[in-house]
Amino acid sequence: MTQITPSRPTIIMFGMPIWHHPHGTKLSVKGFDWENLSENKKLTLSSSAVEIRIHPDSRQNGWVVEYEIQHSPDSWIKGQVWMSASDLRTAFGLSNECDEMSGQAILNYHGGDVAKQGKYIRYGNYLNIPGPGTGHDGDANVSICIDVPIEMAVKVLLQ
């Protein structure tokens, strides 16, 4: 496997890539049962306009990432992406292992550290699922700024 080659994206305020929505910095860990993880293996990240749920998919031995974005009272988008444990680890910054065949063209065009077509793009702690967007309201993708609590929750979830 040939490792993907990072490419610097166009940067806007606070070091954020142009394809990342600023509201991604407002997400926090909700509904994560640190003590009973073996019984309740799911993670919810949320803000006033976004909810992301990550839970196992035992049928395919992977993870389902579901998201809902409320753009306005009469406009919202829902999405779902299946990821392997390796995909989830790389998406949330626990690894940078990413095959060039899966996302090099995305990085060449949009810039970032790692990407996988139809799954994620990440630059530093800035993550978009399932891919890059305009960074403005109305995008059909979700932006997540990976802070320490989010990173730790995903790490524990994958154990």
pLDDT (tens digit, 9 = 90+) per residue, 22-41? Answer: 999 999 999 777 666 666 78
- 65, 46, 62, 39: which is closest to 54 by C-alpha? 65
Any domain includes 100: yes
Which residue ranges in the chain fall short of pLDDT 50? none
Any domain includes 115: yes
What pLDDT sits at residue 1? 63
Lookup: tokens for 95: 């690894």
From residue 150, alpha-carbon distances to 11, 24, 43, 154, 159 in Å are 23, 12, 9, 6, 15
Any domain includes 2: no
Any domain includes 14: no
Q: Give the range of the structural domain holding residue 100, as residue numbers without chain letter.
A: 19-157
What pLDDT sits at residue 136? 83
Number of domains in the chain: 1
Any domain includes 9: no
What pLDDT sits at residue 10? 93
What pLDDT sits at residue 67? 96
Any domain includes 32: yes
Any domain includes 50: yes
pTM given for the model: 0.93
Any domain includes 8: no
What pLDDT sits at residue 108? 95
Up-side HSE of residue 157: CA atoms within 13 Å toward CB?
Answer: 32
- 15, 1, 7, 27: which is closest to 115 by C-alpha? 7
What pLDDT sits at residue 60? 79
What pLDDT sits at residue 135? 80
Q: Report CA dihedral (24, 30, 35, 41) to the nearest 10 degrees.
A: -80
